[in-house]
């Protein structure tokens, strides 16, 4: 495979880092780098996804600008990671979704909102959509929503399977069944605790300068936990609706509502925090991504905002329109799960798994 410009720069940087080795204690990248006998496209795809963009190695590097070596590991790895998402994405004709993430998000969002608006009009009639409504299932039945999103979920899972198995094979991991359970456990713990965002000393990232801070890690955790709570709220709601014959919508003190509202608020705060951190970050640590990184944060924020707005709009003429906007946000989010920034979590987990597997193989 021909080496592109980003990979060539990543190989140059890794070759210098491998001679220097000053940053060994910062994160998993540098010990993993030392285990490689040669730097290739495949192990740059592995090492770049192991990097969590904490910025510690850049702030501490004696060979960063203005030194003639101009070493900047986080910036080159951020670009290399995005290229790995593009390279392995399935189907390949969706690659522009990574290359132009902001435009992809805006277009899918607009189309999805229009689609749900038209579907509600088609199912209930134009007069009903702006009339005061108490229950939004009068506008679109639960079964229609569940059917549409179940189909979308199947599409997402197929896309993940195809994309991730390509990445898995490229970084030379053996079959999933031959990897030890303890390796999965350690990799999962590293992924869930965001261990590699602690700067190597537990004080956090250097995203906005020379002083470490734990805010990126905290906001990332808020988003992760908020997302999981909302996911369980949806599952539980579906279980109540179909298995217990307790139809939605649910009161404020029911379990699906408590999980959904708590998760929604955590998502709002976490996404706003991550957005703020990105805006104020040291721009030398990031590469221009055409809105790819922010698209996921924006969609999660809009989905939670409109989801939390639905019970508030109950009994008003705004409910129908807000429902179309909310469902449009959810559908655009599903498309982002398959072809947007969401897949970074899986790539990172597989890289952590490969790292742990290499370590245990060596011992
Ligand atoms: S980032 Fe700089 S200081 Fe750290 S290992 Fe590489 S060259 Fe050395
Ligand atoms: S930016 Fe942080 S996580 Fe990435 S290589 Fe440097 S120290 Fe490691």
Closest ligand to Cα 13: 1
Whether the CB-CB separation of 206 and 277 falls below 8 Å is answered with: no
Q: How confident is the model at residue 308, as a pLDDT?
A: 97
Residue 151 has pLDDT above 50, yes or no: yes
Could you identify the residue written with the tokens 């398959």?
Answer: 338
Q: Both ends of the chain: CA-CA distance in Å?
A: 32
Q: How confident is the model at residue 136, as a pLDDT?
A: 86
Nearest to 242 by CA among 168, 327, 150: 150
Q: How confident is the model at residue 1, as a pLDDT?
A: 47
Q: Which residue, by CA, sits nearest to atom 4 of ligand 2?
A: 51
Confidence of residue 363 (pLDDT cuts 50, 70, 90): low
Confidence of residue 208 (pLDDT cuts 50, 70, 90): confident
How many angstroms separate the alpha carbon of residue 25 from the centre of ligand 2?
10
Confidence of residue 202 (pLDDT cuts 50, 70, 90): confident
Burial class (CB in 10 A: 0-12, 13-18, 19+), 26: buried
Residue 37 has pLDDT above 50, yes or no: yes
Q: How confident is the model at residue 5, as a pLDDT?
A: 94
The predicted model gives 50-70 an average pLDDT of 96
Q: Is ligand 2 within 6 A of the CB of residue 55?
A: yes
Q: Work out the percent of the chain whose per-residue pLDDT is above 90.
A: 83
Confidence (pTM) = 0.94
The predicted model gives 34-44 an average pLDDT of 95
Q: How confident is the model at residue 336, as a pLDDT?
A: 96
State the average pLDDT for the chain.
94
Rounded alpha-carbon distances, angstroms, from residue 33 to 39, 127, 276: 9, 63, 32
pLDDT digits (tens, 9 = 90+) for 287-296: 789 999 999 9
Confidence of residue 128 (pLDDT cuts 50, 70, 90): confident
Ligand 2 mutation pick, 13, 22, 24, 29, max ligand atoms within 8 A of CB:
29
The predicted model gives 177-201 an average pLDDT of 94
Domain-wise residue ranges, the chain: 5-88, 92-362
pLDDT digits (tens, 9 = 90+) for 217-253: 999 999 999 999 999 999 999 899 889 999 877 889 9
Q: How confident is the model at residue 362, as a pLDDT?
A: 62
Closest ligand to Cα 29: 2
Q: Give the integer Cα–Cα distance in Å for 253 and 329.
A: 26
Whether the CB-CB separation of 206 and 212 falls below 8 Å is answered with: yes
Residue 116 has pLDDT above 60, yes or no: yes
Q: Is ligand 2 within 6 A of the CB of residue 212?
A: no
Ligand 2 mutation pick, 32, 34, 74, 193, max ligand atoms within 8 A of CB:
74
Q: How confident is the model at residue 26, as a pLDDT?
A: 94
How many angstroms separate the alpha carbon of residue 213 from the centre of ligand 1?
21
Q: How confident is the model at residue 329, as a pLDDT?
A: 98
Closest ligand to Cα 21: 1
Q: Give the integer Cα–Cα distance in Å for 294 and 291.
A: 5
Residue 350 has pLDDT above 90, yes or no: yes
For residue 73, the ligand 1 atom closest to its alpha carbon is: 1
pLDDT digits (tens, 9 = 90+) for 295-337: 999 999 999 999 999 999 999 999 999 999 999 999 999 999 9
Q: Is ligand 2 within 6 A of the CB of residue 26?
A: yes
How many angstroms separate the alpha carbon of residue 336 from the centre of ligand 1?
34
For residue 197, the ligand 2 atom closest to its alpha carbon is: 3
Ligand 1 mutation pick, 11, 12, 16, 77, max ligand atoms within 8 A of CB:
16
When mean pLDDT is compared across 43-47, 66-70, 249-253, 356-360, the lowest value belongs to: 249-253
Q: Is ligand 1 within 6 A of the CB of residue 22?
A: yes
How many angstroms separate the alpha carbon of residue 61 from the centre of ligand 1?
5
The predicted model gives 78-102 an average pLDDT of 96
Nearest to 255 by CA among 237, 273, 270, 272: 237
For residue 21, the ligand 1 atom closest to its alpha carbon is: 5
For residue 27, the ligand 2 atom closest to its alpha carbon is: 8
Confidence of residue 45 (pLDDT cuts 50, 70, 90): very high
Residue 10 has pLDDT above 80, yes or no: yes
Residues 6 or more apart whose CB falls under 8 angstroms from that of 5 comprise none
Q: Is ligand 1 within 6 A of the CB of residue 17?
A: yes
Confidence of residue 72 (pLDDT cuts 50, 70, 90): very high
């Amino acid at each position: 495979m021909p080496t592109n410009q980003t990979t060539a720069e990543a190989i140059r940087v890794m070759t210098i880092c491998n001679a220097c080795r000053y940053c060994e204690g910062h994160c998993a990248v540098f010990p993993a780098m030392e285990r490689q006998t040669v730097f290739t496209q495949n192990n740059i795809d592995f090492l770049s996804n192991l990097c969590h963009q904490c910025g510690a190695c850049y702030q501490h590097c004696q060979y960063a600008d203005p030194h003639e070596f101009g070493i900047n590991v986080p910036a080159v790895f951020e670009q290399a990671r995005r290229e790995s998402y593009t390279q392995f994405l399935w189907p390949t004709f969706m690659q522009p979704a990574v290359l132009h993430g902001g435009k992809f998000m805006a277009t899918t969002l607009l189309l999805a909102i229009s689609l749900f608006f038209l579907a509600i009009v088609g199912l209930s009639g134009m007069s009903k959509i702006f009339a005061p409504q108490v229950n939004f299932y009068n506008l679109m039945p639960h079964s229609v929503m569940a059917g549409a999103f179940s189909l979308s979920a199947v599409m997402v899972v197929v896309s993940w399977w195809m994309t991730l198995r390509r990445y898995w094979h490229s970084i030379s991991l053996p079959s999933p069944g031959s990897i030890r359970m303890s390796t999965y456990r350690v990799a999962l713990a590293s992924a869930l605790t965001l261990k590699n965002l602690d700067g190597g000393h537990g004080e956090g990232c250097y995203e906005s300068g020379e002083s470490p801070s734990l805010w990126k890690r905290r906001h990332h955790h808020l988003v992760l936990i908020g997302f999981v709570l909302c996911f369980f709220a949806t599952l539980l709601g579906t279980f109540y609706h179909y298995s217990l014959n307790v139809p939605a919508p649910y009161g404020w003190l029911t379990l699906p509502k408590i999980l959904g509202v708590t998760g929604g608020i955590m998502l709002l705060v976490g996404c706003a925090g991550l957005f703020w951190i990105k805006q104020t970050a040291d721009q030398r640590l990031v590469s221009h991504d055409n809105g790819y990184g922010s698209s996921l944060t924006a969609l999660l924020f809009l989905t939670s905002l409109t989801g939390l707005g639905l019970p508030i709009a109950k009994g008003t003429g705004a409910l129908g329109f807000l429902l179309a906007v909310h469902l449009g946000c959810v559908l655009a989010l599903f498309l982002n799960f398959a072809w947007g920034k969401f897949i970074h979590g899986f790539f990172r987990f597989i890289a952590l798994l490969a790292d742990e597997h290499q370590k245990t193989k060596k011992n």
